[in-house]
Every structure is written in C-alpha cells, then in structure tokens.
Amino acid sequence: MPLTVAIVGRPNVGKSTLFNKLVGRKLALVHDTPGVTRDRREADASLGGFVFRVIDTAGFEEDTPASMAGRMTAQTMTAIADADVCLFLFDARAGVTAGDQIIAQTLRRSGKPVILTANKCESRAGEQGIADGYALGFGEAIALSAEHSLGLGELQEALEAFDPATKTEASEDEEDAVPVEETEEKFEDRPIHLAIVGRPNVGKSSLFNLLLGEERTLTGPEAGITRDTIAAPWSAGGHNFLLHDTAGLRRKARAAGHALEEMSVGNTLDAIRFADCVIVMLDATQAFEKQDLTIADLIANEGRAVVFVANKFDLVENRPGMIKDMRERLDKSLPQLVGAPLVAISAQTGEGIDRIVPAVMAACAAWNKRVSTSALNRFLENALERHAPPAVSGRSIRVRYMTQVKARPPTFALFGNQLKSLPADYLRYLTNGLRETFELAGTPIRFLLRTGKNPYVER
C-alpha cells in the first residue's frame, strides 16, 4: 500500500498546482480565484521514482457545518483522517496568517505527521517569508515553488522518511520489470469508465455519493457546486467501475466569459471523451429540456454508450404513464439514441438505484457488440427487399454488402454504388433495423460509405 499524502492549506496557496505537478498531469483546476477546489481529489503521484498517493483538498476555512465553507472543510478533515502524512502548505510571500495558525492547531489535534512547506519561494519576498514558518511549530519549512518545480528534491527526501521501503521496492520492481507490451492492460481487464453528466443541480453529486456510500463530493441546494471532475473506484453487481462526477453543463452562451466555468466544462468534456458509458442525469420534474437534448447529442457524437437517469422522481405528482411519456419524447427527440435505457430514481430516498447497474451493463454490451458479416448481410438483404433505396437522378443506388469494421461504438461499412447519395432517412431506417435485430439500444451507430470507382471516368 503506497504512502498516502494529503495536501492541506488555506485557499489559494498553490495546493492544486502542487497536486498537478506531483501527478504529472493537469487534473485539478488551477485559477487565481480563491476556493476553486471544493472536493478532495486523489491520484497516484511520483517524485524521482518514489511512488505515493496524493490527495488535493479544499482550502481550510472555519464556518458553520451547513455552509459551503463548512462542508468543504469537512471534506478536508476526511482527507486528513485518510492520510499517512500531511503536507502543510503556506504562502511564503504572504507569511504565516491567522488562518495558517488555525490549520496548524487542527493538524496537531489530528496526530498525523506533518511536513511543512513554504510555497511561492521563487521570488525575494517568498524567500524572506520562509522563516515565518517556525511560528507554526512544525520545524523548518521546505522552500518550494510548485509552479516552477523548485524544491521537489527536498520534498521527496522528506516524504521518503515516512516510507523508507518504498524507494527500494520500486528499484527492485524496475530490475524485474517485463517489457511494456507484455504487461499492457487489456480493455476487458480494466474497470468500466462511467461518467455522470447533466445540467447543474440535477443531482449528479448526490447520485455519485449514494453509489459510493460516502459523502465523497459536496452537495447542496446551490447550483454549480461541483467544479472539478472527481473520479473514484466503485464496485457493484460483480463489476468494477471508475465513476466520474462532473460539473454541470450550462448553455455555451451562459458559460462564455466565465473562466472557471469554461475550465470546468473542459474537464467534463474530457470525462465524456474517456468514458465507456455516460449517465445523462435528468430532473424528472422538468426532463428533456433543450440543454438535456444538447448534452445527449454531444455524447452521441463522441460515440459513448448512454443511460438516461431521471432523478427526483419522488417529487413527481402524476407518476402513472410518466416513464412511457418520457420514453416517447426521448425516442422522438433523439433518434440517434432510440431505445437507450431510461431509469427513474430518487438520489434522496434511494428509490430505483438498483436498476442503474443493469442499465449500464446493457448499454455497454450494445456498445461493445460485434456482429458477424454473414448475419449482417442477411439483415441487409431483408432490409433491401422491404424497402429499396430511392433512385437519384434516374439512377438507382445499389447497396451490395455490409460488414462491421469496429465496436465502441458499433461502426458498419456499406459497399455499393452512389452511396453518398443515400438519404439520411434511409440510413436511419437501416440504423433502427440494426438496433432492433441485434439489440443495439443505448449506443450510437455509425456508417462508413464505401463506393466503388466508376470505370468510365477518365483518369
């Protein structure tokens, strides 16, 4: 089990910048605005071959438990409890403040080992502020600049002191390592990447916490609480998932000009691109608004498997027939996702939660499905007999055969003449036939049109 390190400090002292530097990727949002980070984020990190687990935390602020700042502090306290050692970061340019003293008292009460680090030491003002760290009672501070990668060697030495065996074990592992191609993780062996996406305040974080069985991310009546995309492992129904909670997606015009929101949207889009399946979260009391349809269309264009989850079903007054009405509206508004699983739940009461995993697995099965060429061409022959392609400029369109070129999502190649003139409604006819015949509900279907060369055209 690797050493677990929690980065703790006041807002805007550079915790997320250091987190990204240790992880080697820009996972956490970084902005000059204080309080950008609200949820704790975990990832594997390394320094010069020393491997450990690092937790980024929200800025530590004392407030009432029900307030936003109070709930953020509760997340930080959970991270401290889970950590083996705490990396206490203060701003060397600002010196030690009353807020730093409060954090120091909290860390002493926790009983966890503390490494004191003075960040932003790249300037003369930062160098002068390092000595102020002695007032916190944790000895000499490590001079650090997370943005400019200064002081990371000293930080590595300090961390290794709490886990001296790790570096030795890492070296032995390197000597015995087999070539990368022999240890490359197969797609089937890794967890299913499942992202929860939707408009602000539809209950994404509430569902995320309910599935994990812990208050992993902040929730509340305020819209737009979640800013970062938070990932956590989750097991259910004999399946392993990597579950992603994402920031709400507002209309582009409303988000434009808001730097933090634009960064949050970028993280959400990345989560969609790397997901296997996406849960599109809806508000059952006002489902399938224009933004819901825009989000679902975006996911379909990215080629991800889709499950629609209508939350707040406990607030619906006239339940009988509502799911049927939502299904009809879904299939009419999003023909590219006809038959996608639709589950009604209440993240508040837990109603319907047990139906999510079967729906996700059904969508993933369709997304991964491969159909034999012989079965496809029997389907194509029957489809052409029932409804032949229309003629274009007096010339008939000939579809000779079909084959599947890839899955994730299912992609089929059509071979014939003048296929680029095939009307969109005829391709939709073939798409719906494929869905019904081969159980491909809940996944986008794509076509590649292969037209043979005309021998009468001069070269």
- Give yes or no for residue 455 having a pLDDT over 80: no
Extents of the domains making up the chain: 3-180, 187-368, 373-451
> Per-residue pLDDT tens for 375-396?
999 999 999 999 999 887 777 8
pTM for the complete prediction? 0.69
Residue 415 has phi, psi (to 5 degrees) of: -115, 135
Residues β-bridged to residue 56: 7, 41
Are the CB atoms for 90 and 141 separated by under 8 Å?
Answer: yes
Smallest Cα–Cα separation from 249: which of 194, 198, 195?
198
Domains 187-368 and 373-451 share a fold: no
Q: How many CB atoms lie under 10 A from the CB of residue 418?
A: 19
Confidence at residue 176, expressed as pLDDT on a 0 to 100 scale: 42
For residue 53, the number of C-alpha atoms closer than 13 Å in the C-beta half-sphere is 12
pLDDT interval class at 302 (50, 70, 90)? very high
Which residues are CB-contacts of 257 (< 8 A; sequence separation ≥ 6)? none
The CATH number of the structural domain formed by 3-180 is: 3.40.50.300
Distance CA 6, CA 156 (A): 14
> Per-residue pLDDT tens for 146-196?
888 888 989 998 998 887 554 444 444 444 433 333 333 455 668 999 999
> Per-residue pLDDT tens for 396-413?
888 999 999 999 999 999
Query: Quick one: three-class SS letters along 134-175?
Result: HHHCCCCCEECECCCCECHHHHHHHHHCCCHHHHHHHHHHHH
pLDDT interval class at 258 (50, 70, 90)? low
Tell me: domain 187-368, CATH 3.40.50.300, correct? yes
Query: What residue type is assigned to position 260 of the chain?
Result: L
Quote the tokens at residue 27.
């996972």
Q: Is 58 helix (H, G, I), strand (E, B) or coil?
A: coil
Smallest Cα–Cα separation from 60: which of 38, 81, 44?
38
Class of domain 373-451 (CATH, top level): alpha beta
